[in-house]
Chain A
Amino acid sequence: DAKTTQPPSMDCAEGRAANLPCNHSTISGNEYVYWYRQIHSQGPQYIIHGLKNNETNEMASLIITEDRKSSTLILPHATLRDTAVYYCIVRPITGANSKLTFGKGITLSVRP
Chain B
Amino acid sequence: ETGVTQTPRHLVMGMTNKKSLKCEQHLGHNAMYWYKQSAKKPLELMFVYSLEERVENNSVPSRFSPECPNSSHLFLHLHTLQPEDSALYLCASSQNPRDYGYTFGSGTRLTVV
Q: A residues within 8 A CB of B56?
A: 97, 99
Main secondary structure of the interface of A (DSSP, over half): loop
Interface residue tally for chain B (C-beta within 8 Å) = 26
Q: A residues within 8 A CB of B97?
A: 96-99
Cβ contacts A85-112/B at 8 Å (1 or 0 each): 0000001001111111111110000000
Cβ contacts A44-56/B at 8 Å (1 or 0 each): 1110010000000
The reply to whether B45 and A101 contact each other, CB–CB distance below 8 Å, is yes
Interface residue tally for chain A (C-beta within 8 Å) = 23
Number of A-B residue pairs with CB-CB distance less than 8 Å in the complex they form: 61
Q: B residues within 8 A CB of A43?
A: 2, 4, 90-92, 104-107
Q: Kindly identify, within residues 5 to 64 of chain A, every residue whose CB is under 8 Å from any CB belonging to chain B.
A: 32, 34, 36, 41-46, 49
The reply to whether A46 and B101 contact each other, CB–CB distance below 8 Å, is yes
Cβ contacts B34-58/A at 8 Å (1 or 0 each): 0000000011010010100001101
Q: B residues within 8 A CB of A36?
A: 102
Q: B residues within 8 A CB of A91?
A: 100
The reply to whether A104 and B50 contact each other, CB–CB distance below 8 Å, is no
**A95 CA to B33 CA in the complex, in Å?**
16
The reply to whether A44 and B98 contact each other, CB–CB distance below 8 Å, is no
> Taking each of B90, B98, B106, B109, which has the highest tally of chain A beta carbons within 10 Å of its own beta carbon?
B98
The reply to whether B102 and A46 contact each other, CB–CB distance below 8 Å, is yes
Q: B residues within 8 A CB of A103?
A: 42
Q: Which 7 A-B pairs have the closest CB atoms?
A: A43-B104, A102-B43, A97-B55, A102-B42, A43-B90, A99-B45, A97-B97
Please give the residue numbers on chain A whose beta carbons come within 8 Å of chain B beta carbons, in ascending order: 32, 34, 36, 41-46, 49, 91, 94-105
